[in-house]
Chains A and B, each alone.
Chain A
Amino acid sequence: MQLTNPTKRTPDFRKGVAVAEQRLEKLLDIAKQIRVNILKSTTEAGSGHPSSSLSATEVVTALYFGGFLRYDAKNPHWPDRDRFVLSKGHAAPVLYAAMAEAGFFPREELMTLRKLGSPLEGHPNMAKLGGVEASTGSLGQGLSIGVGQALGARVDKKDYRVYVMTGDGELGEGQVWEAAASAAKYNLDNLTCIVDRNHFQQTGAAEEVLNMDPIDGKFAAFGWHTITINGNDMGEVVQALERGRAHKGQPVCIVSLTHKGQGILPLLEKLGDMNYHGKPLPPKYLDEALALVK
């Protein structure tokens, strides 16, 4: 499949820090397990957004297991931790899947997703689940929260970093751009926004619903440093996060070009729905999907 996006990939990208093969292999293994977790938990729940979660899997895996997020799963409110705000809250299954692998709670608990009394609500709820850094689900709000957290680090003279992941359709919300402008005003180089550019939103192709291209150009115009990558390529993801972390004086936006449903694309093709928005795989397709991601 071709990545269809007029946003140009950052040139000379491969000249970045080389990613050790071993580290990549480990991350790819974890990503497989996270995809398994996403598929199983949403099918068990009978609802949810697996395709929106699958597109973001490489980035979330790299953040939690590639040495980017500092956290203590046994002490999730550790004040010096790094923050990851999942602004596209409907992709909660990828967050929960990663948190389970990171030891915030047992993997079995993923099967309580969306069930009454479970802290794994349909959209992330920070009041119920330690390690969730913002309650999200009303799109467009996470970047502002991330700006607040990045300012909090500055006020407290702490060195923690804040990562925010938005969707591409989510960029239609004006608040994202209010937040982008304010992050640039304060030169928040402890803030990274990752746009999961999976090309689809609820009713169709993102650029047809509301064309926000060029995404990197818009963030750059607001005063951000931008990096554009194939966000389903673990090596590119790791390198981009490293380059973003090293960049000083500006907030960093990583435009992560991805496929919605990455990992089970042949199945979605068979089902005739490459968007597959907001629905779990029926149980009869689960084995086929699990075989694809393994």
Chain B
Amino acid sequence: MAGASSALESKRPMGKATRDAFGRALEALGADHPDIVVVDADVSNSTRTEWFGKKHPDRFFNIGIAESNLVGIAGGLASCGKTPVIASFACFIMCNGYDQLRMAVAYPGLNVKVVGTHAGISIGEDGASQMGIEDVSLACSLPGFVVIVPADEASAKAATKAMIDHKGPVYLRLGRPDVPKIYEDEKSFQIGKANEVRKGKDVTIVANGLMVASALDAADILAGEGIDARVIDMHTVKPIDRDALAKAAKETGALVVAEEHLAHGGLGSVVAMTVAELTPVPIRYVNVGDRFGESGTPEGLLEKFGLTAENVAKAVREVVKAKKR
């Protein structure tokens, strides 16, 4: 049935992967932004920065498989007034480059754009070592960083432009597979401002990344059961849209947070912290939990780890019951 499984099997019209949208957007932005310099740790054909590199070879440096050095070099370039964009797999740039992100980027507050592709378990067969499932938590722990998790092609394109326009460090989280389209165009993206992508009054599903599609599919399932679910695309995890969360909690009285990330430190943690302060309501969570991924098909993994529309719907049913108690 429609929406019973993962976002990758959704009946919604499919768009390109968010990494592809980023790659094309960056390539285009290069023309009007001579300050952009891209540094690669030999994965540019995966992260799609190769498209920028081919068009602007004098502003593209492949420094080899060395993420720590990658981040340090970006800090040095930013200190000279450049706008460095560095991209690698989310787990490698965040985990291998973390001390450097802390010292050479966050602490001095430099204008470095950090892009983690292949985030989440939906990369599939390559397995746990390649899956960034803690990157949002780590990025949120860097003081001053903006953390963005776009849901689809159009928003990833818009997020790339917003990231370049923003002055200061940004982490942009992107996925490997093609994902369903959520937006018709790029107009609705603004850093720090959540998008209500479906109206509803009984409960709010707060999601980002490919889980926005699953949240919408879940809302379709729930509509058939008389539950009117609001869906919010919380593409910016930091700074979180406090107003949207307060409004959702107040108006719908219950939340489900869905993300392709560990339970600890991701969107769920940030939403819980915010809602507990502003308008405490029951919350349930759909995420990877406290475990590593494994090899398998992207669809099979998302099913196994419960990142499906049906599982989001199940969490909604639970939280709606809790609300009524």
Partner of B73, one of A133, A140, A151, A174: A151
Q: Please choose the segment from B55-63, B114-122, B230-238, B308-316 that sits at the chain A interface, where 4 or more of its residues have CB less than 8 A away.
A: B55-63
The answer to whether B292 has its CB under 8 Å from any CB of chain A is: no
**Is B72's CB under 8 angstroms from A179's CB?**
yes
Q: State whether A147 and B72 are in contact (beta carbons under 8 Å apart), knowing that A135-B107, A141-B104, A182-B66 are contacts in the complex.
A: yes
Chain A residues closer than 8 Å to B64, beta-carbon distance: 178, 181-182, 185
Measured between alpha carbons, how far is A174 from B68 in the docked complex, in Å?
A: 9
A48 to B69, CA, bound (A): 28
Q: Produce 1/0 per residue, B78-93, CB < 8 A to A.
A: 1111101000000000
| A43 CB-CB contact with B under 8 Å | no
Contact A148 B68 (CB under 8 A): no
Q: Is B76 an interface residue (CB 8 A)?
A: yes
Interface residues of B in 101-136 (CB under 8 A from A): 102-104, 107-109
Q: Which residues of A contact B63 (CB under 8 A)?
A: 147, 178, 182, 185
Of the four ranges (under 10, 10 to 19, 20 to 34, 35 or more), the interface on chain B belongs to 20 to 34
Contact A135 B103 (CB under 8 A): yes
Q: Residue A153 at the B interface, CB < 8 A?
A: yes
A126 & B58 in contact (Cβ 8 Å cutoff): no
Q: Is the CB of A152 within 8 A of B108?
A: no
**A127 to B75 alpha-carbon distance, docked (Å):** 13
Contact check, B108 vs A127: say whether CB atoms are below 8 A apart: yes
Identity of the chain A residue whose Cβ is nearest the Cβ of B105 in the assembled complex: A135
B255 within 8 A of A: no
Also in contact, A155 and B59, with CB within 8 A (given A138-B102, A145-B73, A147-B69): yes
Per-residue contact bits, chain A 136-159, to B (CB 8 Å; 1 contact, 0 not): 111011011111111111011000
Interface, chain B (partner A; CB < 8 A): 37, 58-59, 61, 63-64, 66, 68-69, 71-82, 84, 99-100, 102-104, 107-109
Question: Can you list 19 A-B pairs, Cβ within 8 angstroms, ordered by A?
Answer: A126-B79, A126-B108, A134-B75, A135-B104, A135-B108, A144-B100, A145-B73, A145-B75, A145-B104, A148-B84, A149-B79, A150-B76, A151-B61, A151-B77, A152-B76, A153-B80, A175-B68, A175-B69, A181-B66
